[in-house]
Structure 1
Amino acid sequence: MTSSLSRRSLLAASGAVLAVALAACTAKDPLAVQANAGDNKNYIAGDGSVSEFGVSSRSKPVEFTGKLFDGSTVNASTFPGHVTILNFWYAACAPCRKEAPDLQALHAEYEAAGVKFYGVNVRDEKATAEAFERNFGLSYQSVADKDGGVLLSMTKFVPPNAVPTTLVLDKQGRVAARILGEADKSTLKSLIESALAEK
């Protein structure tokens, strides 16, 4: 009974966090305006803004465990030692579709340098997510996060606040940078290079 209540509480909390993360906090916030517009475009777009966090101001390493669409598990405890990219997405999100080829290209470019890429799918069932991955030739895997567990865990570090959002984690597994909205390829490449160059 307790575990059932705990799971319902977690799901309720996850839903609340997802709503806050996607809509932000005030009516003046552009994300909140989009959330309240009722235009049925099915995503809350960021403006492509980039936040970089100096080494001394970074939080502790991120913590989460997620299940990939292939059924295996990924744990953020394996991230330290590598630069890691987390991209929050879902298939019907137009900017997610637009940025997918660039994410795949950067994954291919930096895989040999040990950079890890993971998607975090916040909405789709397995078949929909896998169709998207096939369509865009994505060779990195995604976490199935329809219940909001990973999203909820990330709010303790840097809230995603939009879909898509891309996080760059440093070699210690801490958030070094965040892109709200569609990730510009050259910008993300520069953030990856900066994270790789850190000692």
Structure 2
Amino acid sequence: MTSLMSRRALFAAGGAALTVALAACTSEDPLAKQANAGDNKNYIAGDGSVSEYGAADRKDPVDFTGTLFDGATVNAADYRGKVAVLNFWYAACAPCRIEAPDLQALYTEFKADGVEFLGVNVRDEKATAEAFERTFELGYPSVVDKDGGVLLAMTKYVPPSSVPTTLVLDKKGRVSARVLGVAEKGTLKALITSALAES
């Protein structure tokens, strides 16, 4: 009897220790947090931070080349002389779905001002990406970036595990602002307006 009680106590203590250990791991691991939440297990969300870079603090113009889903080739030089918005996304990313209508609305609003929007799809096959674009009636194109070429070229600004991320490029092709996580419409509008106002 004493032996059975000792074993039960030992088992209970071991279980408690395991629970504490797992809780400690979970608190440090963002992917584990999302797994425990039961949703969006396949991405690590950005922290929602917004960074705006003054003209004197901006780095060199970005450089990338990509292929659109329609087969056309684009590169960073195509956007020089204009303000451009680059949005890194994929179809199964829940925050990407949240922000898609606002991105489309801002694209429509700023089109007449010459602002260019470009999606960078980091994961999907063509059919999946096009279904997403139809669902949200996106009017701007996206690059196929399953091989990570564009993402790799932008790693100074876009953490590989943080999707969505949105960049605003100034007219010289430099990053003037970055949003990690969902791009709130009002915030992104202000960032675009600020870039447009620069000479």
- Tell me the CA shift for residue 44 of structure 1: 1.1
**Any unmatched runs of 5+ in structure 2?**
1-24
**Equivalent residues in 2 for 1:171-190, closer than 5 Å:** 171-190=171-190
Aligned residues: 169
Shift of 1:82: 0.3
1:33 alignment counterpart = 29
Q: Name 2:125's counterpart in structure 1.
A: 125
Question: Which amino acid in 2 is paired with 1:50?
Answer: V
Aligned to 2:52: 52
Alpha-carbon offset, residue 60 of structure 1:
0.6
SS of the aligned residue for 2:29 comes to helix
Alignment match, 1:17: none
* Deviation >2 Å, runs of 4+: 35-38
- Determine the structure 2 residue equivalent to 1:65: 65
Q: Secondary structure at the match of 1:132?
A: helix
Q: Give the SS at the match of 2:189.
A: helix
1: distance between equivalents of 2:171 and 2:159? 20
- Residue type of the alignment partner of 1:159: V
2-structure distance, mates of 1:44, 1:74: 28
Tell me by how many angstroms 1:79 deviates.
1.3
Cα offset for 1:69? Answer: 0.4
Per the normalisation by structure 2, the TM-score is 0.81
Describe the SS at the equivalent of 1:172.
coil
Q: Does 1:74 align with 2:74?
A: yes
Residue 35 of structure 1 deviates from its aligned partner by 3.2
Normalising by the residue count of structure 1, what TM-score does the alignment of the two structures yield?
A: 0.81
Name the % identity. 68
Q: Distance in 2 between matches of 1:61 and 1:86?
A: 14
- Compared CA separation, residues 106 and 160, structure 1 to 2 (3 A): farther
| C-alpha contact (below 8 Å) 1:79/1:173 kept by paired residues | yes
CA RMSD of aligned residues (A): 1.7
Q: Deviations over 1:60-114 (max 9, x none)?
A: 1100100000110111011111000000000000000000000000000001100
> How many Å apart are 1:38 and its aligned residue?
6.8
2:196 matched to 1:168? no
